[in-house]
Amino acid sequence: MDESTWRKRQIEQRVESAEEAVQELRGRVESLNPYRNHIIEEVAQAIERMESFGKDTISSFAIYIRSMKE
């Protein structure tokens, strides 16, 4: 095996290891707050009931808040 093949394999293993670590962290975060998406949706709905801004602004706020869901 030449050096470039060895280096490529090493990089692939590191990427795979990093992806596994990210998946593990994602699972840990989700388990810390299983109600997160529900709460975010409640906040977006509350924003939509506001009348202090224009309809387009309120819709933009709600879309932004919903984008925070996982």
Model confidence pLDDT, tens digit, residues 25-66: 888 877 778 788 899 999 999 999 998 888 999 999 999 999
Q: Torsion angle of alpha carbons 45, 49, 51, 57, nearest 10°?
A: 30
Whole-prediction pTM value? 0.54
Contact yes or no for 50/58 (Cβ under 8 A): yes
- Alpha-carbon 30 to chain mean position: 10
Longest dimension (CA), the chain: 68
Output the pLDDT for position 30: 76
What pLDDT does 59 receive? 93
Q: How distant, in Å, are the alpha carbons of 48, 57, 66 from that of 63? A: 10, 10, 5
| Band of residue 69 on the pLDDT scale cut at 50, 70, 90 | confident
